[in-house]
Structure 1
Amino acid sequence: MNSLRNPVTRRTFAFGVAATGIALAMGKLAPAAALTQQQELVDKARITFEKLIGSLEFGELPGYLKRAKAVMIFPDIFKAGFVIGGEGGNGVLMVRDPNKGWSQPAFYTLAAGSVGLQIGGQSSETIFTIMSDKALQAVLNDQMKFGGDMSVAAGPIGKGIGANTTTNLDADVYTFAKTAGLFGGVSFNGAGILRKDDWNAVYYGAGTLPQWIVIDRKVSNPNTQDLVNALSPY
């Protein structure tokens, strides 16, 4: 301790202690790295899936999911209007291979506009079960539009969890939507599903197409594992 009697040494020691304290404080108070938009959507998709798959309202969803070619999960589709309405939201597409299981998620967006007597707003967490190869190919080719040649129907509600007696599979796509707000029901007729090439490129690499992610499985991101695991029982 005698060395601390030297004024220069004391100043150097004090500066070192102060610098260490500041560094520790900064380390303790530094915020965690912010999630990217893409990762946030992946995490929200998992939460939405787990919420709906375990809901008594959608007791037949597991049965439909086990027969589906693919699934799209939209954590937040917002629909609002005053005479002229519109809806939109971002989601993910995942395809099941009988041998490889569920694919990584590819990013998509839903967009639609409508005109009519409508007042109010509604937010819905939605799962689309894609039942036909035609519908899946339409999504991959960026030509999916609900209604007309691509039939969409509301999935049944209010039955037992895990029901496997699903027989009515006439529609190309079934929707299971948990809504909040006031709008008078959920209808997706006329809505279009478009791929988000920019998001797929950010998350998986430049030039990545949905086909590479969900069919060819050329690319992957380890941060999707929790979502993939959530779907794996189905």
Structure 2
Amino acid sequence: MKNSNSIWVVMMVFMLCIAPVFGQSTAKKNKIIADSKMAKVEFVKADALMKGLFEDAYGYVIFPNVGKAGFGIGGAAGNGVVYERGKIAGMAKLSQVSIGFQAGGQAYREVIFFEGKNDLERFKGSQFEFSAQASAVAVTAGASTNVKYAGGVMVFTMQKGGLMYEASVGGQKFQFNKL
């Protein structure tokens, strides 16, 4: 029984990680774009100071729906929209695998701000990933007050639902696709 649970978890993680690799239909892209606009509204609603970050950043990517699950081995995946100077520049895919103490599942939003053109170009070149040491700020009122760019990026997350206990090691990888 324990062996079949492990196999099920590994299969689930595998599916989470490869699902974003497959092509997206126009309807799906339009839904992701609409969801990213709503996520932006929700980020600003939670912390009004984020409005300035969206206006001042050279670019940003919004992942409106990231799903994460794990039991020992975990994974996360999501699709997002990349903005350059406030205009849509393309679509992005996020994937993550983690190993460690973790159990449960959750859904969250993530936004990554890029300080300058070179930072965004590195992301668009699909040569951008976060190590296990990278940290994100959980969005609450005033959370963005003292946050500064680190390596040309700032990351914010917002919990949508679910419950997950975690003390794991893993990193996020991204893939950019022009529209």
TM-score relative to the length of structure 1: 0.56
Aligned-pair identity (%): 23
Look up the SS of the partner of 1:169 in the other structure.
Answer: coil
Q: CA deviation at 1:103?
A: 1.8
Structure 2 contact 63–79 (Cα < 8 Å) conserved: yes
Q: CA deviation at 1:105?
A: 4.1
**2:142 equivalent in structure 1:** 159
More strand by share: 2
The C-alpha deviation readout for 1:180-225, integer Å capped at 9, x for no partner, is 211247x99620110246xx3xxxxxxxxxxxxxxxxxxxxxxxxx
Structure 2 unaligned regions, length at least 5: 1-25
**1:46 equivalent in structure 2:** 37
**When the two structures are aligned, how many residues end up with a matched partner?**
153
Please tell me whether residue 67 in structure 1 is matched to residue 80 in structure 2.
no
CA distance in 2 between partners of 1:116 and 1:128 (Å): 25
Q: Residues 166 and 116 from structure 1, CA distance in 2 versus in 1: closer, same or farther, beyond 3 angstroms? A: closer
More helix by share: 1
Mapping of residues 1-234 of structure 1, within 5 Å? 36-55=27-46, 58-96=47-85, 102-147=86-131, 153-154=136-137, 157-159=140-142, 168-179=148-159, 180-184=161-165, 190-196=171-177, 200=179
Q: CA deviation at 1:133?
A: 3.6
Q: Residues 174 and 188 from structure 1, CA distance in 2 versus in 1: closer, same or farther, beyond 3 angstroms? A: farther
Structure 1 unaligned regions, length at least 5: 1-34, 97-101, 201-234
TM-score relative to the length of structure 2: 0.72
CA RMSD of aligned residues (A): 3.0
AA partner of residue 153 (structure 2): V
